Amino acid sequence: MDSDQGKLFIGGISWETSEEKLRDYFGQYGDVLQAVVMKDKTTGRPRGFGFVVFADPAVLDMVLQDKHTIDGRMVEAKRALSREEQQTNARAGNLNPARNTSGGGNIRTKKIFVGGLPPTLTEDGFRQYFEAFGFVADVVIMYDQSTQRPRGFGFISFDTEDAVDRVLQRSFHDLNGKQVEVKRALPKEANPGGGGRSMGGSYQNYGASGGNTSSYDGRMERYMQPQGTGGGFPPYGSSGYSTAGYGYGPATNGVGYGGYSGYTGAGAGYGGPAGAAYGNPNVPNAGYVSGAPGAPRSSWNSQGSSGYGAMGYGNAGSWGAQNAGAGSGGPGSVPAGQSPGGAAGYGNQGYGYSSYGGNDGSYGNPAGYGAVGGRSGGTPNSNVGGPGGAELQGSGGGYMGSGYGDANGNSGYGNAAWRSEQSQASGNYGAPQANGPHGGQVGYGGGYGSSQARKAQQQ
């Protein structure tokens, strides 16, 4: 972690050892930017460890070689683990943190968290200082919601990684004589239900142009219930389709909260985001968070493109034949008058993780991972008329694997079935011959192929 270079963990220190003592002691190796002794938050009792940050990371080499005795206790100095590493290790149980020089943090935003702000600092002053590093897209100082007191930290948003990097050259900056600490801001999480504004508002469009929202909803209830075998197919959830993927593309391109504007109508009940990817010309690019102009984004998400939220609803299949003519004029569009209730498929649902990695592009795959929705429903069509018709046959299958999706939304590698002729012919995404009690099946279709699959079947 950039800002944690030069940071030492000091373990086993005496309860008598003060921060000043730490600073003094380690000051003999080099400039100490910060020395802290951690204390129990509630009791105030020292916890027996602390941190020392050197201005020059190179100093660590020296310090790490020596033994240190402070206040009569032998203390242990180690490189401090970054928080990310800690969390990662804890969660993954990974004992091999791989601290490397490329910046351990695996999540990058173009925002900087600034801690230790003096209460008197104004946003103007804040901004002016950081403008020296690059274009400041946004500045915010946080205040307590009720007391309006400054909370002592804030954020600076830049428009380039470079500016961020320049700031992070040093973990401490001097604003008018007060020292503040900078870190790359943690990406705010796209948490459904968490009430993030980032997700709000963009769903409203749903059905707007289609005009049959309500009927669709009604169907939805019925379709989805029996469909429950989907086993908590997350995108469905309470909030409906709109939440579909929490595409989360931290990394270079910033957070791309997928799941915007699922059903912008565009004629087909489900035109959805897949449009762009799957070539439905009627669908203006909804869904992708990508750089598409007009794609809704979080207001604090000044980042550029490619969130690639990997949403789905890719296919032309509309809910109910009545929709059909309207939309999905794209390739493989579904002819009007299709089977009642139609089989709707949701393509490419899921959680797209976009562009992990640095801005060096080494991982900068614009597409990232997209969990490809769709179930691996097995035997084609054999369920017609079968029990529980609303359920996908072969439903044990779970999702059809995740794969790499490319920027064009093609579903992934290792998932060849989706592309294969057989697959399309077999229509294994919810057979259109829906004989279920509710007049239709809901199939999780592969965005790419499903409508074609149906088409093929009809022919």
By CB under 7 A, name the binding residues for DNA. Answer: 4, 7, 9, 11-12, 14-15, 36, 38, 41, 47-49, 51, 73, 76, 78-83, 86, 109, 111, 113, 115-116, 138, 140-143, 145, 152-153, 155, 181, 183, 185-188, 197, 299-300
What are the distances in angstroms from CA 74 to CA 7, 61, 64, 77? Answer: 19, 18, 13, 10
CB of 180 to DNA, least distance (A): 8
Q: Which two tokens stand for residue 133?
A: 């590093």
Task: Output the smallest distance, CB 352 to DNA, in A.
Answer: 20
CB 351 to DNA: min, Å:
20
Q: How far is the CB of 171 from DNA (least distance, A)?
A: 9
Between 91 and 232, name the residue whose CB sits nearer to DNA: 91
Q: Per-residue DSSP letters for 240-279?
A: GGGG----B--TTT------B-TT--SSSTT--THHHHHT
Shortest Å distance, C-beta 435 to DNA: 49
Question: Is the CB of 178 or the CB of 340 nearer to DNA?
Answer: 178
- Quote the least distance from Cβ 157 to DNA, whole Å: 7
**Residue whose pair of structure tokens reads 């948490």 in the numeric block:** 191
Return d(Cα 230, Cα 374) in angstroms, integer. 10
The angle formed by the CA atoms of residues 59, 60 and 63, to the nearest 5 degrees, is: 95
Burial of 291 (0-12, 13-18, 19+ CB in 10 A): middle
Task: Report the residue number, 14 or 285, with the smaller CB distance to DNA.
Answer: 14
Residue whose structure tokens are 């020395």 = 35
Q: Percent helix, strand, coil in the chain (nearest 5)? A: 20, 15, 60
Provide the token pair at 196.
């993030």
Selection from 172, 183, 1 nearest residue 80 by Cα: 1
Least distance in angstroms from the C-beta of 37 to DNA: 10
Residue closer to DNA (CB basis): 153 or 404: 153
Q: Which is nearer to DNA, 7 or 454 (CB)?
A: 7
Pick 34 or 395: Cβ nearer DNA: 34
Name the residue nearer to DNA (CB basis): 194 or 385. 194
Of 65, 76, 80, the residue nearest 14 (C-alpha): 76
Closest separation between CB of residue 50 and DNA, Å? 8
Asked whether 382 and 393 are in contact (CB, 8 A), the reply is yes
First to last CA, the chain: 58
Q: Tell me which residue of 405, 326, 394, 328 sits closest to 365, measured CA to CA.
A: 405
A 10 A CB-CB count for 347 gives 34
Amino acid 210 reads G
Distance (Å, whole) CA 304 – CA 225 = 38
Give the Cα separation of 175 and 364 in Å (integer).
34
Question: d(Cα 35, Cα 19) in Å, to the nearest integer?
Answer: 6
* Closer to DNA by Cβ: residue 51 or 356: 51
Residue 66: CB minimum distance to DNA, A = 15
Please identify, using beta-carbon distances, which residue of 37 and 277 lies nearer to DNA.
37
Which residue, 84 or 391, is less far from DNA as judged by CB?
84
Nearest to 443 by CA among 389, 403, 405, 404: 389
Cβ 6 to DNA, closest distance in Å?
10
Nearer to DNA, 82 or 205 (CB): 82
| Minimum distance from residue 255 beta carbon to DNA (Å) | 9
